[in-house]
Amino acid sequence: MPSQTPPLAPPSEDQHPLFRLVEIMAKLRDPVGGCPWDLEQTFATIAPYTVEEAYEVADAIERNDLPELKEELGDLLLQVVFHSRMAEEQGAFDLRDVATAISDKMIRRHPHVFGDHAYDDLSAQVAGWEQLKAEERKAKAKTGVLDDVPAGLPALTRAVKLTKRAARVGFDWPSAAEVLDKLREETEEIAVEIEAGDKAKAREELGDILFVCANLARKLDVDPEDALRATNAKFTRRFGFVEARLAERGKTPDQSDLAEMDGLWNAAKAAEKEA
């Protein structure tokens, strides 16, 4: 019979919880006795989980579920520890370096708290924050206005950041009204492509519409991802109402038709207004 590697001893519960988590991750990545799945992961394979966990944190906040938020923050923390462990194995950095870097950055970006600098008001503080970030980008030899807007961000979020950066140097519409005019122009253009049956051009025009919508959200000081999440929740809630009413009639949606479901949809909207 093949020899079996003895199980690794779990870290002591007496140590600091964060140190315990770091040790757990190290054991999971131990070539002798560690977890095969954890051992074969890389930065690239773990990255999607990191993004997913961040969204689950946002979802718990949206639902104001604090017990769930605690759990999701733990999952997100695990991602930081996981990436840090893999970097440590390569001799690049470890979790201590990560914590040191963000601590130094927070102190540097808050001279009004940890230094003797004073801002006149909140807007001046925001402007100062942006100036400090610009200086940091310059120090990294990232001199282009859009150089370090991460390509991996959700597309709507990245569109907001891109237009926000461009606006800093004056490349911006004066008001939301002008953005709305642009949105009307883009919807007319996509209508032409849909009529022509040109799917490729319609796709491009749809991208333009979404980009303008993201810009409009920025002008209105609205997070487009947050606004869309709220609408998704509203759609889910109202469609659930439609399904429930159909069930009372002994039906499922595929046994109904658009006219009936649209009537129930309007009833759902009316019920929400009365609530």
d(Cα 232, Cα 156) in Å, to the nearest integer?
15
Report yes or no: 31 and 89 within 8 Å, Cβ to Cβ: no
> How far apart, in Å, are the Cα atoms of 33 and each of 6, 7, 20, 22, 38?
7, 7, 18, 17, 11
Question: What distance lies between CA 119 and its chain's CA centroid?
Answer: 30
Fold adopted by 17-98 = Helix Hairpins (1.10.287)
Q: Residue 2 — very low, low, confident or very high, per pLDDT cuts 50/70/90?
A: very low
Q: Tens digit of pLDDT for each residue in 19-54?
A: 999 999 999 999 988 999 999 999 999 999 998 999
Report yes or no: 19 and 38 within 8 Å, Cβ to Cβ: no
Q: Tens digit of pLDDT for each residue in 181-192?
A: 999 999 999 999
The burial of 10, by beta-carbon neighbours within 10 Å (0-12 exposed, 13-18 middle, 19 or more buried), is given as exposed
The burial of 86, by beta-carbon neighbours within 10 Å (0-12 exposed, 13-18 middle, 19 or more buried), is given as middle
Is 17-98's fold the same as 152-218's?
Answer: yes
The residue whose two tokens read 């991802």 is 225
- CATH number for the segment(s) 152-218: 1.10.287.1080
pTM: 0.66
d(Cα 53, Cα 25) in Å, to the nearest integer?
17
d(Cα 145, Cα 138) in Å, to the nearest integer?
10
**What are the structural domain ranges in the chain?**
17-98, 152-218, 227-274
- Taking the CA atoms of residue 20, residue 25, residue 28 and residue 33 in that order, the dihedral angle to the nearest 10 degrees is -50
> How far apart, in Å, are the Cα atoms of 73 and each of 15, 38, 149?
20, 20, 25
Res. 149: pLDDT tops 80 = yes
Integer-rounded Cα radius of gyration of the chain: 25
